[in-house]
Each structure stands twice: as C-alpha cells, then as structure tokens.
Homo-oligomer: A and B are copies of this chain.
Amino acid sequence: MSEETFDVIIVGAGVLGVATAYYMQKNNPNKKILLLERNLAAGQANTAMSAAAVRNMFASSTNQVLTDTSIKYFEHVQNELGHELLFEKTGYLWLLSKSQFEHESVQVWMQRMEKSGISYKVYNKEELKEMIPSLDVDFHDDEEAALMNLNEISYGLFGKDCGVLDPTRLVEYYFDAFKVISHVKPKFGCNVEKLLLEADPKLDLPNEPYVWQKKHITGVITNKGTFRAGTVVLATGAWANELLDPLGIDSKTKAKKRQMFVIHGEDNPKLIEFLNTKGFNEMGCIPFTILPSAGVYFRPQLQEKGFWIGCGDKIGRKYEYIQTDETMIPESSYYENSMYPVLSKYVSAFEGARPVNSWAGGYCYSPDSIPFVYEESGVIVVNGASGSGIMKADALGRIADALYRREKEAELFGGKKVSTTMLSIKDRDVEIESVVI
C-alpha cells in the first residue's frame, strides 16, 4: 500500500466538499490538497438525492446570511461567470393554516426576514384560490380530510428570491474550478475506512495513543492506501459519525432517510395546467411549494413537465445513525400511503398520479438546524447542514477555508464577514433555526 503525504485531505466530494476544496486551494495556492470520494464522480451521493431547492427564507439570522450570500454567488456564477446551473427563481410558497400563520414562530420568522431585508409576500386564501384554481383550501365537510388531520389553507408565504437548481451542475462548477488550480489529482472510488489518530510524539509503544499522550488526526486509511496530511477535512454529511465515533469525537449530528418521487404530467392536462400556474415568477410556473400538513412538498420541473415530491416526515421515521445501503432504497408504499393522499387532497390535479422515478438519500440533522464548521484535533468538520447544504455551500466552503487559514473572520460573497468560529461546537454563536423542511 502506498503512503503519501499532503497538506490537506478533503474527504467527500459532495457539494460541501467541492466548495471547501475550491476555496482552500484558491486561498492557499501552494498547498497540496487531495480530494477523496468513494463514489466514481463528484456530487453523486446525498447531494444528488436532495430536492436542490434554494431559499434565503430562514428564521435564524445565521442561516439567512449563509444562504443569502450563497444564492447570490450562484446567480453570479450563472449570470456573470456564464456557468449554467439551471438556477431558476421559481420562488418558495409555504401554504399555512390560520393557526400556523399566527403562531409565534412564524411571526418571529417574518419579523427576522424583514429585519434582514429578505423579500417575502403574504397571500391570503382568496388570492391563493384565484391564482391556483385546483388548490383545495378548506375541505368543507370532507370527513377524509378531517381524519387525515389536514390543515385548511389560509395564507401563503412567498419568497421570490428562492428557487431550484441542478445540484450536479453546481458540484461540477466547484469541482472544475478546483481541478484547474489543484496540484493533486482527486481520487475517486476511494473509501475512507478510518481516520488516523496518532500520538504526538509517537513513542512506538503498543496500542498508542494512551490517555496521557497528546494526539491528533494525521491522515486517513482507505481502500487505496494510507494518506497523511496536516489537516483532514470531513465533508461526509450523514457519514461523519462512522468516522468520528471511533475517535471519540461527537459530531452532534444524525441522519434520517429522505425520499423523492417524480411525477410526470405529459398525459395529464390538469397537472400541466397546475405546473404552469402564472403570477408567481418569470417562468410562469407553480413555485416550490410546502403543503401545510404532514411535511409534504413539491418542486416544479418545467423541463420534464412534472414535479419532484418530497416529505419532511418527523416522528415515526427512524434515525439511522450509521447509514446503510438500505437508506438508498425508496419505498413505493411510502408514496402511496403517506404522501399521495395528502398531495391529492390539496391539489386535485395530482389525483391518480403515479411516480415514474424515485430515489432516496440521507438527511443530516444538527441539533439547532444550523451547520457545523469546526476544527477538532486536526480534523475540520463541515456538516450538519440539516437538509440545506446546497444552498449554504458557498458560505460554508469559505468559512472552512478561513478556519484552515486561522483567520478570525471569513468573507462571504458580497463582502459580508462572519466569525470563523460561529458554526463551531465550542464557541457556537448562532440563532436556532425553526424553519426546516
């Protein structure tokens, strides 16, 4: 087995890994940075499995700044640098019952968006009915809807600067930009089995390190050999525990399966009409929409004349502390029993709709729904994005790089500066996020 040495090893070429790799190489041009990925290409694991929707409509000022600057950078990449990310400002539409809308958490959310200058608009029930004729807003005398605990729709909270993009193109943008300036060829099909925790200094005694020895992470053991580096970056999302637990480092994150089902509307004029709902955005399509019950949401797909349907199910969906292949298998019964009944009740155009495709991946929760970026014993961890890693990727990559350079502040796109330790565990300085899907 070979044993090579680098300045930095980045584990994981998902969106957080490639963004971090790019900013680290850009700002440390002489460093040898090795990017490792166990799949055969970048961005093919959980990044590719997500809904890839992007929004700046968060309740915490922390997530607001991470997403707002990242989204503006994505626009810059697409419009000024000329890299097509298929970023479309479809907008985000939260449909809410009266009691949801009036809940303190939603009121605080709106106040904080106003304070931060994040654009949003409130629609009332009548406006929504007029704009989206096939939306059922009140379920009068519908016993089934009552049995299903479906909330009526009284308000819509709409953010015009939100939208959807193609996660593969975004990953490609960062990956290509990294490759141009990198000195080391990234390794694919390279699975990190273990992080190397070693005593400093090594005494060459059996079973080192002992409790009284200084110790830090000095590299990785992979199926392609052992690689050493001064700094190891973990951008492994839901897989972080598998590498950190054996070292006794608590990532504070854990994962759940999430699933996406694709509905096509070609043979369904009602669905096409619903997809082409006007008045919300320049594309003339229904926005990325979150229904007010059971966590069901959908993403419009103009190109494929259809929708991606997802669900942020909470209690009842098991946590998978260590992810397995089972995580990647979507369950058709889940669509049929849990998602479809909700979807078709709110939007009659979905009646009879059956998925033509589906996939599943791991969603990595942090305790406060704010990501982590921190250094611990020689490893920089970038994870816990809580379902919104893509929309925060640019900011997180810049913060991870600033942390590596031991800067006190990271400069985000547009010039805004944030503390490099604000997303750490020890010196965490964030607002708890309440608006997660």
Known: A149-B213, A212-B294, A294-B211. A248 touches B339 (CB 8 A): no
| B205-A247 in contact (CB<8A) | no
* Contact size range, A: 35 or more
| B338-A212 in contact (CB<8A) | yes
For residue A302, give the distance in angstroms from its CB to the closest CB of chain B. Answer: 27
| A377-B197 in contact (CB<8A) | no
Which of B147, B206, B313, B318 has a CB less than 8 Å from the CB of A246? B318
| A210-B337 in contact (CB<8A) | yes
Q: B-facing mask of A32-51, CB < 8 A → 1, else 0?
A: 00000000000000000000
For residue A297, give the distance in angstroms from its CB to the closest CB of chain B. Answer: 12
Which of B149, B197, B367 has a CB less than 8 Å from the CB of A315? B197
Q: Is A321 an interface residue (CB 8 A)?
A: yes
Bound together, the chains give a CA A311 to CA B244 distance in angstroms of 21
Task: Please list 26 pairs of residues, one from A and one from B, whose beta carbons are closer than 8 Å in the complex, sorted by A's number.
Answer: A147-B201, A148-B213, A149-B213, A150-B212, A197-B316, A205-B337, A207-B333, A209-B316, A210-B337, A210-B338, A211-B294, A211-B311, A212-B338, A212-B342, A215-B316, A241-B321, A245-B319, A247-B315, A247-B318, A248-B256, A248-B316, A248-B317, A249-B319, A250-B365, A252-B367, A315-B377
Given contacts A211-B311, A211-B313, A212-B341, list 12 more A-B pairs with CB under 8 A. A147-B203, A149-B213, A207-B337, A211-B295, A211-B342, A212-B338, A215-B316, A241-B321, A247-B315, A247-B316, A250-B367, A252-B367
